[in-house]
């Protein structure tokens, strides 16, 4: 139980570049949430988002002072707690919009799967750091698959396919960093390939439709082809400088669905144009590359896998979200980290960043 | 730390940087994707976003009203809703959607589909009118299904309203959807769903009456709800059009004609203004204002009495004895006979080896005795005019018939006027490929045979003769008002026919006698305090032999009467036609009532005037009882 908390808090220990980049993205998100909801019933959402971001940033500072080994030591408990939470959600929670994703604690709604995301990163990181294999074995693959697959299965049942998918990038990152034999890699690819038709059976009609409309985007129905079409119109009509804050007709007139949440980047691109798109993607690449720097500098494998896992999940979400806005990917319910409206996502992203800062802080231990 | 993980394997130094490059590369690829949309294809998407949110809704211009000569409203507009369907929404109009819309609006899905197929060639931003005269249920359906059917919209339109319903319907005409060929021809001016005059005045003066639609550009949200208006191009209403028709006379004439099939035309012979034009049976043009139901249309078009036909200008029938005005004029003008030429009428005459019977013989088995021209007109002696016909020959009769305006259109400003027919040997050879039978001339001389006229032509002819040879083209509108609207109406100058005053006096004197002398066939036209002249006509629809053979169908004779007042410098000429009226007496009172109403409205009764100078004055005797008026002349 060493070093749970360093005796003194030093400003020099905080990764200011990382934190300010994250905060910049969060502020951009808040402004865009305000712009797309100010005329709707969701008018107060941006205030809640401010609260979450402030809370998130503070927690990031707190967790940067926590020794990540302490967290990793307790990962088993966290993991069981998460599984219990997901199960309880399925059993007792009242569906909201047909899905059981939220649990209400003292008036605040809380998305358990967002916590799951972080816990799976920690669990996978802990597994890799403890096993220390020279290359990933079949047994490793099986355990890792279960580690992420069990909570992912529960999340799919909510149903929330998008979030469930975010449980796996950390494993991919871990395998990449550890190394894998060609045979095992072939097996992973094979299993993944087999999952496609098997998974199709488990998909809900709306999820199947999303995939179909990704392959045939011209279907002008009100479904997902419609969403992508409208999203592309929003982005394309923004031009270089954008239509200006609050002038995005596509988002304000309701052509873009949930323009404050999953589709926030389309709304942003409409109002701020390519210039804005460029800035935001630049900020994300700074954030992600900086995180990987921390991973490179990590004092031990635990820190390395933790940060790499976190980075891979964040990157996965950014890339998929940004890509699906322009039809490069099928529509899945994946929020844009830090920008999309949603307290749980913001909170756990910041906590993750806090842990990454903690890893960076302890880089010179050896 | 080292103690915690003693066998820490070393991480190859390239792995993390490779990931960093990978991340940068993927984000760069995505940035290029955004570049393509936001820079390369910006214009295309900008237009799409504009189309998304902006809808162009027509602001329908009200058509001009149609007024009578005193400004009384004959045709008006009434507000109504039309249902529009926008085709440029991102929603695909699947058969299921179309069926849903059709069900909600009470339309036939196949019809709606067909309508949309027709509209496929039109620009996508132009909405299609799919239902006119929308009921409250239709309006409620559209309003409550904004989410399901955001492509539906309501617009307010000014629908045509005919407050007098079937009175003057065939004269005023009706409106209907602009046909596709008209849209193709005039392009931007018309949109599908626009209305245009289809018949009558509505058609003839469509360009005056129809306004120019405006446009409203509105912002709509993804549910099709209007969020605001961007710009409005106001509509230009159509011009009101004043007709020469006198609504009072029109109503009087319609009432006098009652439920009998026929027509009544009243002209002002001093200028050619049409005061009244009634045709019966009629229809209610309001039925056409929205969407006419096919059954109703079928019943209107298949009715043997042809309610859609304007019989005043389209019924081409034998005029019977009214034609004697032509024969008499021809005989006098050519100097063939003098007015004092007498013929003995035993009730029949044998000409060219064929016996022609006088109507008097058919009725009473006796003749008229010795008659001169004046008396022959008054009592409508057939034998006298058979004799004149033989003396004149067909060419002279036909020449004067044409000079008096028969056999060609009067040029009234209405669509579909028929020319009638004045038969000539050339015509017979051309169409029937046989020689002219001399006997046909004898029939033509009394207005039978192939000769055919319209009621308007008769009114026009008598206008010209009674005014001494001045023929004003009949018309329904005021020339100066049309000119003010930028139209170029035909010249106002009348056609002058050189008729000797003695001819005019003899013929008009005869017509005075028809009404006012004992034995005159038009005695029923007498109105206390008014001087009315006229001429009766009873035209066989089929030959006597055919009629008596008992064939089925309505073969009763057509009844005609044309009357005018006052006898000199007449102000009004009225022609009444009662189809299958049997006796001319069916038509005479109608004319009398219209003339009476005219002078009552004028507020002054013309004092009794002297009849034309050459005639001896016979004082008007009491009204002849109806049974004294004989069938046929």
Q: Is residue B225 part of a domain?
A: yes
Q: For A274, which residue in chain B has the nearest alpha carbon?
A: B38
**Nearest-by-Cβ selection for A222 from B16, B24, B91:** B91
Residue B324 has pLDDT above 90, yes or no: yes
Q: How far is B91 from chain A (nearest CA, A)?
A: 5
- Enclosing domain of residue B226: 54-242
A236 and B44 within 8 Å at the Cβ level: the answer is yes
pTM of the model: 0.66
The CATH number linked to B149 is 3.90.1310.10
Tens-digit pLDDT profile for residues A88-117: 888 877 666 666 666 666 556 678 889 999
- Of A236, A293, A322, which has the smallest distance from its Cβ to B38's Cβ? A236
Same-domain pairing of B512 and B551? yes
Q: Are residues B135 and B258 in the same domain?
A: no
Confidence of residue B496 (pLDDT cuts 50, 70, 90): very high
Would residue B466 count as lying in a domain? yes
Cβ contacts of B8 on chain A, cutoff 8 Å: 132, 300-301
Cβ of B30 and A328 within 8 Å?
yes
Mean pLDDT computed over A145-166: 87
Flag if B49 and A249 touch (Cβ within 8 Å). Answer: yes
Specify whether B143 is located in the same domain as B256. Answer: no
Domain membership of residue A221 (yes or no) is yes
Q: Do B49 and A304 touch (CB under 8 A)?
A: no
Lowest mean pLDDT among A187-196, A245-254, B612-621: B612-621
Contacts of A230 in chain B (CB under 8 A): 52, 90, 222
CA of A253 vs chain B CAs: smallest distance (Å): 4
Q: How far is A189 from chain B (nearest CA, A)?
A: 20
Identity of the residue in A222, A239, A250 whose CB atom sits nearest the CB atom of B38: A239
Q: Are strands B73-85 and B128-131 parallel, antiparallel or unpaired?
A: antiparallel
- Chain A nearest CA to B94, separation (Å): 10
A4 in a structural domain? no
- What would the two tokens of residue B487 be? 């139209």
ipTM value, please give it.
0.91
Mean pLDDT of chain B: 84
Give tens-digit pLDDT for A67-86. Answer: 899 999 999 999 999 999 88
Residue contacts between A and B (CB atoms, under 8 Å):
149
Return all residues near B111 (Cβ < 8 A) that are at least 6 apart: B102
B306/B301 Cα distance (integer angstroms): 7
The answer on B313 and B199 residing in a single domain is no
The answer to whether residue B522 is domain-embedded is yes
Domain assignment present for B41? no
Per CB-CB distance under 8 Å, the chain B contacts of A288 are 20, 23
pLDDT band at B270 (very low <50, low <70, confident <90, very high): very high
Identify the domain containing residue A283 by its residue range: 11-160+169-361
For residue B154, list its beta bridge partners: B83
Contacts of B223 in chain A (CB under 8 A): 254
**Residue A9 has what pLDDT?**
66
Note whether B523 and B624 are same-domain residues: yes
Burial class (CB in 10 A: 0-12, 13-18, 19+), A172: middle
Asked whether residue B253 falls in the same domain as residue B235, the answer is no
CB–CB contact A274 B38 (8 Å): yes
Contact B5 A300 (CB under 8 A): yes
Q: Do A69 and B4 lie within an 8 Å CB cutoff?
A: yes
Residue B145 confidence class, pLDDT cut points 50, 70, 90: confident
Residue A225 has pLDDT above 80, yes or no: no
Calpha distance B483→B531 (Å, rounded): 37
Residue A364: per-residue pLDDT: 67
Domain count, chain A: 1
Same domain, B126 and B207: yes
Best probe of the B interface among A219, A227, A236, A306, by most B CBs < 10 A, is: A236
Task: State whether A315 and B23 contact (CB < 8 Å).
Answer: yes
Instruction: Report the pLDDT value the prediction gives residue B192, as an integer from 0 to 100.
Output: 57
Q: Nearest residue of A to residue B150 by CA position?
A: A222
Short-list B240, B312, B306, CA closest to B276: B312
Q: Are residues B156 and B255 in the same domain?
A: no
Under the banding of pLDDT at 50, 70 and 90, the label for residue B540 is confident
| Cβ–Cβ gap A366/B90 under 8 Å | no
Q: How many residues does chain A have?
A: 366
Same domain flag for B153 and B274: no
**Nearest CA-CA distance, residue B417 and chain A, Å:** 54
Within a domain: A5:
no
Is the same domain home to B489 and B612? Answer: yes
Same domain flag for B258 and B195: no
Contact flag B1-A366 (C-beta cutoff 8 Å): yes
Residue A253 to residue B222, Cβ atoms within 8 A = yes
Residue A211 lies in a domain: yes
A141 found inside a domain? yes
Using a CB-CB cut-off of 8 Å, the residues of chain B touching A229 are 90
B53 with A253: Cβ contact below 8 A: yes
More confident position, B399 or B54 = B399
User: How many percent of chain B have pLDDT more than 70?
Assistant: 86
pLDDT tens readout for residues A16-50: 999 999 999 999 999 999 988 887 777 788 899 99
| Separation in Å, CA B539 to CA A84, B312, B356, B387, B560 | 106, 16, 15, 19, 8
- Residue found under tokens 């006012």: B516
Q: Is B7 helix (H, G, I), strand (E, B) or coil?
A: coil
Judge whether residue B631 has pLDDT over 50.
Answer: no
- Determine the average pLDDT of the residues in B595-599: 93
pLDDT-derived band at B488, boundaries 50, 70, 90: confident
Same domain, B196 and B313: no
Residue B23: which of A249, A285, A365 has the nearest Cβ?
A285
Lowest pLDDT segment from A322-336, B81-95, B153-167: B81-95
Neighbours of B81 (CB within 10 A): 19
Please tell me the total count of domains within chain B.
2
For residues B242 and B481, give the distance between their C-alpha atoms in angstroms, rounded to a whole number. 8
End-to-end CA distance of chain A: 18
- Given an 8 Å threshold on Cβ–Cβ distance, is B42 in contact with A240? yes
Which of B49, B94, B96 to mutate against chain A (most A CBs within 10 Å)? B49
CATH number, domain with residue B272: 3.40.710.10
How many other CB atoms are found less than 10 A from the CB of residue B156? 11
Residue-wise pLDDT tens digits, A309-355 = 999 999 999 999 999 999 888 888 889 999 998 889 999 999 999 99
| Residue of A237, A254, A304 lying closest to B222 (CB–CB) | A254
How is B490-550 classified by DSSP, letter by letter?
PP-PPEE----HHHHHHHHHHHHHHHHSTT-TTGGG--TT---EEEEEEE-SS-HHHHHTT
Kindly tell me if the per-residue pLDDT of B47 is higher than 50. yes
Which residue did the predictor score with more confidence, A348 or A221? A348
Interface probe with A: pick from B10, B31, B35, B38, most Cβ of A within 10 Å: B38
Mean pLDDT score, B4-20: 74
Whether the pLDDT of residue B391 is over 50: the answer is: yes
Question: What does the buried/exposed string (b/e) look like for A7-29 if buried means 16 or more CB atoms within 10 Å of the residue's CB?
Answer: eeeeeebbbeebbebbbbbbebb
Residues of A in contact with B46 (CB under 8 A): 236-237, 239
What is the reported pLDDT for B183? 61
Instruction: Say what the pLDDT of residue A96 is.
Output: 67
* A323 inside domain: yes
Residue A2 lies in a domain: no
- Token pair, residue B207, equals 């360009």
């Amino acid at each position: 139980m060493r070093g749970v908390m360093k005796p003194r808090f030093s400003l020099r220990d905080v990764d200011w570049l990382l934190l300010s980049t994250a905060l910049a993205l969060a502020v951009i998100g808040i402004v865009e949430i305000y712009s797309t909801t100010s005329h709707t019933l969701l008018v107060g959402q941006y205030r809640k988002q401010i609260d979450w971001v402030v809370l998130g940033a503070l927690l990031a500072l707190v967790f940067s002072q926590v020794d990540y080994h302490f967290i990793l030591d307790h990962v088993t408990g966290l993991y069981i707690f998460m599984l219990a939470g997901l199960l309880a959600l399925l059993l007792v929670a009242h569906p909201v919009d047909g899905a059981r994703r939220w649990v209400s604690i003292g008036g605040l709604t809380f998305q358990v799967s967002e916590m799951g995301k972080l816990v799976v990163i920690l669990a996978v990181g802990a597994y890799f750091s403890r096993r220390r294999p020279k290359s990933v074995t079949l047994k490793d693959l099986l355990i890792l698959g279960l580690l992420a697959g069990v909570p992912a299965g529960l999340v799919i049942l909510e149903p929330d396919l998008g979030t469930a998918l975010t449980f796996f990038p950390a494993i991919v990152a871990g395998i990449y960093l550890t190394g894998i034999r060609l045979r095992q890699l072939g097996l992973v690819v094979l299993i993944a390939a087999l999952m496609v038709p098997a998974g199709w059976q488990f998909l809900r009609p709306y999820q199947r439709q999303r995939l179909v409309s990704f392959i045939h985007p011209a279907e002008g129905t009100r479904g997902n082809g419609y969403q992508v079409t409208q999203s592309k119109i929003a982005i394309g009509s923004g031009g270089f400088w954008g239509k200006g804050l609050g002038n995005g007709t596509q988002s304000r007139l309701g052509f873009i669905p949930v323009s404050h949440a999953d589709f926030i980047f389309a709304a942003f691109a409409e109002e701020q144009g390519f210039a804005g798109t460029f800035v935001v993607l630049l900020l994300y690449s700074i954030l992600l590359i900086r995180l990987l720097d921390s991973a490179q500098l990590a004092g031990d494998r635990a820190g390395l896998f933790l940060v790499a896992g976190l980075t891979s999940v964040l990157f996965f979400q950014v890339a998929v979200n940004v890509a699906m806005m322009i039809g490069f990917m099928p529509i899945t319910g994946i929020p844009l980290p830090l920008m999309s409206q949603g307290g749980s996502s913001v909170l756990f992203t910041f906590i993750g960043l806090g842990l990454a800062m903690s890893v960076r802080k302890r880089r010179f231990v050896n | 730390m080292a103690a915690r993980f003693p066998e820490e394997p070393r991480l190859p130094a390239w792995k993390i940087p490779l990931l960093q490059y990978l991340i940068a590369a993927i984000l760069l690829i995505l940035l290029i994707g955004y570049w393509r949309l936001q820079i390369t294809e910006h214009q295309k998407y900008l237009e799409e976003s504009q189309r998304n949110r902006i809808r162009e809704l027509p602001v329908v211009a009200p058509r001009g009203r149609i007024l009578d000569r005193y400004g009384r409203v004959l045709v008006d507009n009434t507000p109504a809703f039309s249902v529009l369907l926008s085709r440029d929404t991102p929603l695909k109009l699947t058969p299921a959607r179309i069926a849903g819309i059709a069900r909600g609006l009470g339309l036939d899905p196949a019809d709606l589909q067909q309508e949309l197929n027709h509209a496929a060639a039109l620009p996508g931003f132009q909405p299609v009118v799919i239902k006119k005269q929308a009921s409250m249920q239709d309006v409620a359906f559209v309003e409550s299904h904004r989410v399901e059917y955001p492509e539906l919209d309501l617009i307010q339109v000014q629908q045509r309203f005919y407050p007098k319903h079937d009175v003057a319907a065939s004269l005023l005409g009706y409106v209907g959807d602009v046909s596709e060929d008209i849209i193709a021809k005039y392009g931007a001016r018309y949109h599908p769903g626009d209305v245009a005059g289809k018949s009558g005045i509505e058609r003839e003066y469509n360009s005056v009456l129809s306004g120019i639609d405006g446009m409203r550009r509105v912002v709509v949200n993804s549910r099709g709800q209007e969020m605001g208006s961007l710009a409005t191009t106001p509509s230009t209403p159509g011009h009101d059009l004043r007709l020469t028709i006198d609504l009072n006379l029109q109503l009087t004439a319609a009432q006098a004609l009652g439920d009998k099939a026929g027509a009544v035309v009243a002209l002002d012979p001093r200028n050619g203004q049409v005061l009244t034009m009634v045709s019966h049976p009629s229809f209610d043009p309001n039925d056409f204002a929205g969407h006419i139901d096919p059954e109703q249309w079928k019943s209107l078009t298949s009715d043997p009495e042809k309610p859609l036909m304007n019989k005043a200008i389209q019924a081409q029938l034998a005029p019977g004895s009214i034609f004697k005005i032509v024969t008499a004029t021809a005989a006098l003008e050519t100097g063939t006979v003098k007015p004092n030429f007498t013929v003995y009428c035993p009730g029949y005459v044998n000409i060219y080896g064929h016996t022609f019977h006088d109507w008097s013989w058919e009725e009473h088995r006796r003749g008229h005795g010795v008659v001169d021209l004046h008396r022959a007109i008054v009592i409508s002696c057939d034998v006298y005019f058979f004799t004149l016909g033989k003396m004149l020959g067909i060419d002279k009769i036909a020449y004067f018939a044409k000079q008096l305006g028969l056999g060609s259109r009067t040029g009234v400003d209405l669509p579909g006027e028929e020319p009638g027919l004045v038969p000539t040997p050339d015509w017979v050879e051309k169409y029937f490929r046989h020689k002219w039978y001399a006997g046909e001339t004898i029939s033509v001389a009394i207005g039978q045979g192939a000769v055919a006229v319209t009621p308007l032509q008769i009114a026009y002819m008598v206008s010209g003769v009674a005014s001494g040879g001045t023929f004003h083209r009949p018309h329904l509108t005021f020339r100066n008002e049309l000119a003010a609207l930028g139209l170029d109406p035909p010249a106002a100058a009348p056609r002058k026919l050189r008729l000797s005053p003695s001819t005019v006096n003899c013929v008009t004197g005869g017509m005075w006698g028809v009404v006012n002398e004992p034995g005159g066939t038009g005695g029923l036209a007498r109105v206390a305090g008014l001087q009315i002249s006229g001429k009766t006509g009873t035209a066989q629809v089929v030959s006597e032999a055919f009629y008596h053979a008992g064939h089925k169908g309505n073969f009763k004779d057509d009844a005609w009467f044309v009357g005018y007042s006052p006898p000199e410098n007449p102000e009004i000429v009225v022609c009444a036609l009662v189809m299958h009226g049997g006796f001319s007496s069916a038509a005479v009172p109608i004319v009398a009532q219209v003339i009476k109403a005219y002078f009552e409205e004028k507020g002054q009764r013309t004092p009794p005037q002297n009849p034309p100078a050459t005639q001896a004055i016979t004082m008007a005797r009491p009204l002849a009882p109806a049974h004294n008026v004989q069938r046929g002349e």
